Amino acid sequence: MLYASTRNQSIKVSSAEAIVKGIAEDGGLFVPCKIPSISAEKIKEMADYPYTRRAEEIMSLFLADFSEDEIKKCISSAYNEKNFGSPDIAPLRSLENAEVLELWHGPTCAFKDMALQILPYFMTCSIKKCKIDKEIVILVATSGDTGKAALEGFADVEGTRILVFFPENGVSKIQKLQMLTQTGKNVGVASVLGNFDDAQTGVKRIFGNEEYNKKLNENGFRLSSANSINWGRLLPQIVYYFSAYCDMIKKGRINCGDKINICVPTGNFGNILASWYAGKMGLPVNKFICASNANNVLTDFIKTGVYDKNRSFYTTASPSMDILISSNLERLLFDITKDEKTVSGWMSELSLNGKYEVDDKTKAVISDKFFGGFCDDISTKASIAKVWNGQKYLMDTHTAVAYNVYEQYVDETGDKTPTVIASTANPYKFNSAVFGSIAPDVDIKSMDEFDVLYALNEKTGIDIPKPLAELKTKEKRFDKSCAKEDMINVVSEMLEIK
């Protein structure tokens, strides 16, 4: 199986090359040249498999240049009880009106772990296959969640280093502690005196600095990135939609072959795109429900066919979805049009004017298969309270956005198809907003983040996840802050090059 760029189908690479490169030279995203399919019999068979074997079935179809052994090793290194707390990996919880797919049992309590726990192993395998003899340096600028998930994933993975920069005043206290206490011989963390854009620009400059990259090479290093457009981050996400379907068969919620809806709280469009690919492979999906917060550029796009990022940016209670450019949408557009010229045209309109409109045929496919909806912070918090009070199930803010939009969908359509809602974070990860939703009378402004953890625990009786509970007493290993101009020197220092 080969991969090609969404903007130029003549650039063809193996899966190992797609993973090492991350993004194609022309700025496009790598997509599989042909999407493999899975039969209904196979899905039925997979219902009796554990998560790891379900992952083997799906991943081997896409990683044609990996041996069976290599794939098994990547999977068992990532998806085990030590990292995910139980062999379920991504368990399904039944609510009265939907099935909740919990994707946050990994070490950082958010769904980014599902991909970032396995990406490092894909990466080291791919490096060997591509005969790269350098140590890979993953360089990350983060606004919070991705940095910690990448640190956890790459910590102590042979042949790699992981260096993370975060904005000094742009992350929560818990997020900062999560990064500063990171263990591992190959990790480095520093804060940047500036905002997220400063950190991101600094990282991009380092990637683009030819002379510096030459120097890194001479010292045995090569830069790479772990961001969400890497195919190696998308592939692991396809697996859990099949796994959810298998679990629904097992629980007797559906018969094999029955259709389901999938509802996903969406930011960069990676997670929901993985469900789309699962559908292309043969998973019986009726509707893809795309849930946004007040940054509702995708809701408008699904309704009108016009993508327009020229609008106000809102900071919301579901910050991981505060995004105006959903990069992975490009892959969906390519999959529908199969036309690199058209997609390149729309993408250049987007970078020139911040806006494009798809053709009628594409619009028709999207409005047939997708439902787009959004909700603001007030409705998000109301959904958290409603599901907690009514069913004693505690959702984080991102999951609550999805739940709210799913209810809107049912109200509007009356559709009773069994539905899977992707739950993307442990409620403790966004504890202030969650606690505020179920205990509106408590003044949380005077409480520190740890007080809120304990109060939420007291109120709900739900265990505080160990990695968060331990933070208060864990040793801080990093204390470096730098000006944005000095980031390059910090990289040299961390890699001990002159």
Ligand X SMILES: *Cc1c(COP(=O)(O)O)cnc(C)c1O
Interface contacts to ligand X, rule CB under 6 A:
110-112, 145, 228, 265-271, 320-321, 398, 424-425
Least CB distance to ligand X at residue 265 (A):
5
**Between 245 and 269, whose beta carbon lies closer to ligand X?**
269
Least CB distance to ligand X at residue 214 (A):
34
**Between 290 and 490, whose beta carbon lies closer to ligand X?**
290
**Between 151 and 487, whose beta carbon lies closer to ligand X?**
151
What letter represents residue 484's amino acid? K
**Between 7 and 398, whose beta carbon lies closer to ligand X?**
398
Least CB distance to ligand X at residue 111 (A):
6
Least CB distance to ligand X at residue 421 (A):
12
**Between 203 and 402, whose beta carbon lies closer to ligand X?**
402
Least CB distance to ligand X at residue 269 (A):
5
**Between 125 and 274, whose beta carbon lies closer to ligand X?**
274
Least CB distance to ligand X at residue 231 (A):
14
**Between 153 and 265, whose beta carbon lies closer to ligand X?**
265
Instruction: Please identify every residue annotated as catalytic.
Output: 112
